[in-house]
């Protein structure tokens, strides 16, 4: 089908072929129900806890510590909203897309101590492809809460599988837990590795092997 281009006054009308316009990106707002936060009550409770632990919280050096402690946790637990932007897979790309070494910072729900590491996230595209920065956005979105590393890994994989509908999704997270390195066993340098695979990356042995092999080639280990 052709489109008629309006001619200038001294030119005859001519038929011009229609130009296919690229499909616009699709943006899905990713949000989280707001939590009730009472910083004043938290600060008073933090002061009582530190005082009960025998710390000089009323002294000049620590008088601001309860406030700083509460605001630090509030920052770590504030879940950012973002747009999950996808594009039409116009080129029909069907090979693995992998983003390695995405920073992970989260809190262990058992001790409220940080665990820190990297995530490797990949997928086999279906009808749509994901904007590359959104891999890090998804990881950060689910990392900003008190949880286990196993749950974080599953949440990232399931979110991408549900919202992107790819042929397969794979997530590997490697992290050092300060609840294990600074206390208890004090196993400094020990890293916990978790993985979750969906679709063809779980069911197809060759696709699974390729994904796991590529995640081991990162430069942080």
The answer to the question of residue 167 being in a domain is yes
**Same domain assignment for residues 103 and 170:** yes
Looking at the structure, tell me whether residues 106 and 203 fall in a common domain: yes
Same domain, 42 and 122: no
Asked if residue 29 belongs to a domain, the reply is no
Q: Which of 56, 76, 96 is the last residue of a domain?
A: 76
Q: Which candidate in 64, 71, 110, 217 is catalytic? A: 110
CA nearest to 171, candidates 188, 183, 159, 186: 159
Q: So what's the pLDDT on residue 117? A: 98
**Burial of 21 per CB tally in 10 Å (0-12, 13-18, 19+):** exposed
- My answer on whether 109 and 182 are in the same domain is yes
User: How many whole angstroms separate alpha carbon 42 and alpha carbon 31?
Assistant: 25
Same domain? 69 vs 174: no
Examine the residue annotation and report whether 120 is marked as an active-site residue of this protein: no
Instruction: Kindly state whether residues 63 and 108 are assigned to the same domain.
Output: no
Residue 125: phi, psi to the nearest 5?
Answer: -65, 145
To the query of whether residue 36 is one of the catalytic residues in this protein, the response is no
Domain that holds residue 114: 84-215
Q: For position 3, what pLDDT does the model report?
A: 40
Annotated active-site residue in 64, 88, 109, 162: 109
Q: What is the per-residue pLDDT for 2?
A: 35
pLDDT in tens, the chain (221 residues): 334 334 344 445 555 555 567 789 999 999 999 889 999 999 999 999 999 999 999 999 999 999 999 999 999 999 999 999 999 999 999 999 999 999 999 999 999 999 999 999 999 999 999 999 999 999 999 999 999 999 999 999 999 999 999 999 999 999 999 999 999 999 999 999 999 999 999 999 999 999 999 999 854 44
Residues 6 or more apart from 99 whose CB is under 8 A from it?
A: 120, 121, 122, 132, 135, 136
């Amino acid at each position: 089908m052709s489109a008629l281009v309006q001619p200038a006054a001294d030119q005859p009308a001519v038929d011009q072929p229609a130009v296919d316009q690229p499909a616009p990106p699709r943006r899905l707002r990713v949000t989280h129900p707001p939590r009730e936060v009472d910083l004043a009550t938290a600060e008073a409770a933090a002061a009582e806890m530190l005082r009960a632990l025998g710390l000089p919280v009323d002294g000049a050096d620590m008088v601001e510590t309860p406030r700083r402690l509460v605001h630090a946790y509030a920052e770590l637990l504030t879940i950012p909203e973002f747009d999950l932007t996808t594009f039409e897979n116009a080129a029909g790309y069907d090979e693995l897309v992998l983003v390695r070494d995405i920073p992970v910072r989260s809190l262990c729900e058992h001790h409220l101590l940080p665990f820190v590491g990297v995530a490797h996230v990949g997928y086999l595209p279906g009808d749509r492809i994901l904007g590359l920065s959104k891999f890090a956005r998804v990881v950060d979105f689910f990392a900003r809460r008190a949880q286990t590393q196993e749950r974080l890994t599953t949440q990232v994989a399931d979110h991408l599988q549900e919202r992107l509908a790819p042929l397969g999704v794979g997530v590997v997270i490697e992290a050092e837990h300060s609840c294990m390195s600074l206390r208890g066993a004090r196993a400094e340098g020990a890293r916990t590795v978790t993985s979750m695979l969906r679709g063809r990356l779980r069911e197809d042995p060759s696709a699974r092997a390729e994904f796991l092999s590529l995640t081991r080639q990162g430069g942080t280990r």
